[in-house]
């Protein structure tokens, strides 16, 4: 009936050459065997769990049958299986549990693979991973919580510390009156007299509300501060955290995002009073890395599905994927996906090297904001175009692209919207000139490799020097494209790098995907990306 068979049963990593190459190149070749095994596992049954967990979204249970507070969220078993898989493979903690060169890159590759199956569980995995470095500013709290946050075992039930070895961590910053501007937070933290605080107020978005513990921003006497708030107190009683409502979301439907009321909830301060943003920013930076990884995963799935479908769907007597105009669309999707993957893994390497290399630390600072803005911004364009490659089927739930497309805008919104990340780049340009030097040094590693990139690199210092707020998006876009082009010129096949530079760095390039300069090499680009299934 000319309906391509479902794409399943293949090894997600073996099929993803840019990811496999980046894993080796960026310092985690030692993790290849384990990652290949994970890729093989994910290409099977878990693909169906992802669809199921979205078809059966979580349900809030506020009260038990006698009217006692429960504040629980019930999930479909497939959610637990997927989250369990992530925890068992250390996606929430491995670089902290077993630090070694390449540990963040290895985790990044696994995170990207799981994200190809289902994005929702990436949220609690990411927040738990990201909480650890923020928590480390308070040694006692880190000593108490880090062992639990890094255990490779998933225990879904909420239990006191004495009965549960593991823990997952969430984050509650955003309030109704302002999310980007957290200084407007009104949740109050009142010193309880014994070193702890009582938190009172509302949180408008709090994802993974079934987590064991949260990092929360609240106004203490000396200003906005960061707190660690457990859901169960040491005596086994529930902390005063009420789940009011779950958001009815566009996508990310397998995951729960709640509105919370804190009614004098007991919490411990993390870091110093009044320095809450500085403390939690360490967590935000790590979750921003995961937004880039998560979007690379969504793009990869979009490309896999589109190239597979087009190879097997015949129209006008030939597979649609062999027709010149479709070939152009597919190749352009492949370029965007490969650019996102190499960016994400290079960025992950900066997380590995930052603690021992100051240049990588400042590079990471700027490159995270640049990459978070641009890669996440491109996500929805890619999923929309890939969806159209399946024709009408792309618009139908069973084919998976609709779910992917609903998920895409989220990575651009949370952990700092597009504009907020651009403003963050401007702040770094203004206050941390060393991060600009490190960024330019990275981009210049490809100098001489492509004349269009050379021109873009030559123009950057002037563009950076004349940065202004209203033009920040265009500036960050240019920075991101130069960074991606630099990586592709150095590491990708010449057909990929050439087409990328021609379509992303030239002035007369088309605006839609599928506007690459035509040529015989487009077929080779698509073949590189088409899954081996």
User: Which stretches of the chain bind ligand FAD, using CB under 6 A?
Assistant: 170-174, 178-180, 205-207, 249, 252, 257, 410, 413-414, 417, 419-420, 423
User: CB count, 10 Å around CB of 212?
Assistant: 22
For 118, list phi and psi in degrees, rounded to 5.
-165, 130
Radius of gyration, CA atoms only, the chain: 23
- Find, among 179, 224, 181, 231, the residue nearest to 204 by Cα: 179
Q: Which residue, 5 or 245, is less far from ligand FAD as judged by CB? A: 245
Nearest approach, Cβ of 184 to ligand FAD (angstroms)?
9
Across the strands, what pairs with 243?
260
Q: Which residue, 62 or 417, is less far from ligand FAD as judged by CB? A: 417
Nearest approach, Cβ of 234 to ligand FAD (angstroms)?
25
Nearest approach, Cβ of 240 to ligand FAD (angstroms)?
19
Q: Which residue, 169 or 495, is less far from ligand FAD as judged by CB? A: 169
Q: Which residue has the tokens 């081996």?
A: 532
- Find, among 17, 151, 2, the residue nearest to 84 by Cα: 151
Q: Which residue, 410 or 476, is less far from ligand FAD as judged by CB? A: 410
Structure token digits, residue 111: 């995170």
Nearest approach, Cβ of 351 to ligand FAD (angstroms)?
21
Q: Which residue, 171 or 501, is less far from ligand FAD as judged by CB? A: 171
Nearest approach, Cβ of 48 to ligand FAD (angstroms)?
24
Structure token digits, residue 504: 């992303």
Rounded CA gap, 254 and 79, in Å? 7
Nearest approach, Cβ of 337 to ligand FAD (angstroms)?
23
Rounded CA gap, 123 and 85, in Å? 14
Nearest approach, Cβ of 177 to ligand FAD (angstroms)?
8
- Find, among 258, 267, 280, the residue nearest to 206 by Cα: 258
Check residue 232 and report its DSSP letter.
B
Torsion of CA 11, 14, 18, 24, to 10 degrees: 120
Q: Which residue has the tokens 């949370």?
A: 414
Structure token digits, residue 441: 């040094």
Nearest approach, Cβ of 410 to ligand FAD (angstroms)?
6
Nearest approach, Cβ of 436 to ligand FAD (angstroms)?
21
CA 115 to chain centre: 9
Query: Could you write out the three-class secondary structure of 476-525?
Result: HHHHHHHHHHHHHHHHCCHHHHHHHHHHHCCCCCCCCCCCCCCCCHHHHH
Q: Which residue, 307 or 421, is less far from ligand FAD as judged by CB? A: 421
Q: Which residue, 172 or 331, is less far from ligand FAD as judged by CB? A: 172
Q: Which residues does 482 contact at the CB level (< 8 Å), separation at least 6? A: 443, 453, 456, 457, 460, 505
Q: Which residue, 130 or 366, is less far from ligand FAD as judged by CB? A: 130
Residue nearest to ligand FAD (CB): 179
Q: Which residues does 409 contact at the CB level (< 8 Å), separation at least 6? A: 250, 251, 379, 380
Cβ proximity of 529 and 296 under 8 Å: no
Nearest approach, Cβ of 461 to ligand FAD (angstroms)?
25
Nearest approach, Cβ of 450 to ligand FAD (angstroms)?
33
Q: Which residue, 187 or 268, is less far from ligand FAD as judged by CB? A: 187
Q: Which residue, 327 or 402, is less far from ligand FAD as judged by CB? A: 402
Q: Which residue, 12 or 280, is less far from ligand FAD as judged by CB? A: 280
Question: Residue 422, exposed/middle/buried by CB under 10 A (0-12, 13-18, 19+)?
Answer: buried
Q: Which residue, 308 or 406, is less far from ligand FAD as judged by CB? A: 406
Q: Which residues does 278 contact at the CB level (< 8 Å), separation at least 6? A: 271
Distances (CA, A) of 492 to 35, 409, 456: 21, 27, 19
Nearest approach, Cβ of 411 to ligand FAD (angstroms)?
10
């Amino acid at each position: 009936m000319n309906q391509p068979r479902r794409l399943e049963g293949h090894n997600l990593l073996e099929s993803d050459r840019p990811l496999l190459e980046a894993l080796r190149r960026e310092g985690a070749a030692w993790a290849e065997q384990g990652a290949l095994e994970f890729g093989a596992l994910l290409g099977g049954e878990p693909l169906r769990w992802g669809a199921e967990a979205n078809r059966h979204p979580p349900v809030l249970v506020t009260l038990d049958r006698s009217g006692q507070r429960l504040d629980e969220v019930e999930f479909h078993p497939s959610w637990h299986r997927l989250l369990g898989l992530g925890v068992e493979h250390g996606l929430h903690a491995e670089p902290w549990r077993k630090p070694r060169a390449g540990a963040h890159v290895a985790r990044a590759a696994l995170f990207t693979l799981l994200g190809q199956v289902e994005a929702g569980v990436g949220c609690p995995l990411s927040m738990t991973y990201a909480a650890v470095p923020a928590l480390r500013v308070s040694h006692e709290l880190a000593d108490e919580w880090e062992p639990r946050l890094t255990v490779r075992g998933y225990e879904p039930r909420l239990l006191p510390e004495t009965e549960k070895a593991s823990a997952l961590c969430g984050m509650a910053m955003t309030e109704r009156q302002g999310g980007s501007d957290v200084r407007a937070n009104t949740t109050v933290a009142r010193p309880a007299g014994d070193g702890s605080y009582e938190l009172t107020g509302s949180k408008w978005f709090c994802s993974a509300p079934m987590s064991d513990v949260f990092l929360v921003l609240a106004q203490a006497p000396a200003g906005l501060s960061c707190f660690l708030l457990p859901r169960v107190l040491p005596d086994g009683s529930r902390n005063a955290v009420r789940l009011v409502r779950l958001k009815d979301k566009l996508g990310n439907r397998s995951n729960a995002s709640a509105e919370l009321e804190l009614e004098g909830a007991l919490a411990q301060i993390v870091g110093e009073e009044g320095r809450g943003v500085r403390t939690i920013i360490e967590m935000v930076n790590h979750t921003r890395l995961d937004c880039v990884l998560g979007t690379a995963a969504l793009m990869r799935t979009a490309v896999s599905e589109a190239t597979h479908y087009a190879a097997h769907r015949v129209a006008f007597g030939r597979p649609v994927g062999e027709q010149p105009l479709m070939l152009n669309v597919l190749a352009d999707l492949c370029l965007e996906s490969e650019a996102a993957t190499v960016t994400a893994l290079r960025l992950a390497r900066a997380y590995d090297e930052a603690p021992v290399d100051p240049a990588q630390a400042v590079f990471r600072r700027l490159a995270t904001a640049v990459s978070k803005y641009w890669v996440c911004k491109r996500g929805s364009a890619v999923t929309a175009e890939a969806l159209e490659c399946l024709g009408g089927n792309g618009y139908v739930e069973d084919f998976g692209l609709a779910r992917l497309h609903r998920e895409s805008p989220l990575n651009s919104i949370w952990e700092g919207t597009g504009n907020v990340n651009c403003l963050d780049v401007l702040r770094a340009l203004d206050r941390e000139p060393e991060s600009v030097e490190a960024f330019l040094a990275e981009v210049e590693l490809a100098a001489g490799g492509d004349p269009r990139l050379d021109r873009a690199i030559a123009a950057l210092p002037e563009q950076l020097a004349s940065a202004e707020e209203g033009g920040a998006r265009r500036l960050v876009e240019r920075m991101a494209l130069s960074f991606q082009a630099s990586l592709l010129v150095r590491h990708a096949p010449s057909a990929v790098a050439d087409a990328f530079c021609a379509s992303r760095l030239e002035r007369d390039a088309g605006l839609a995907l599928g506007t690459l300069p035509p040529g015989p090499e487009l077929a080779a680009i698509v073949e590189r990306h088409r899954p081996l299934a």
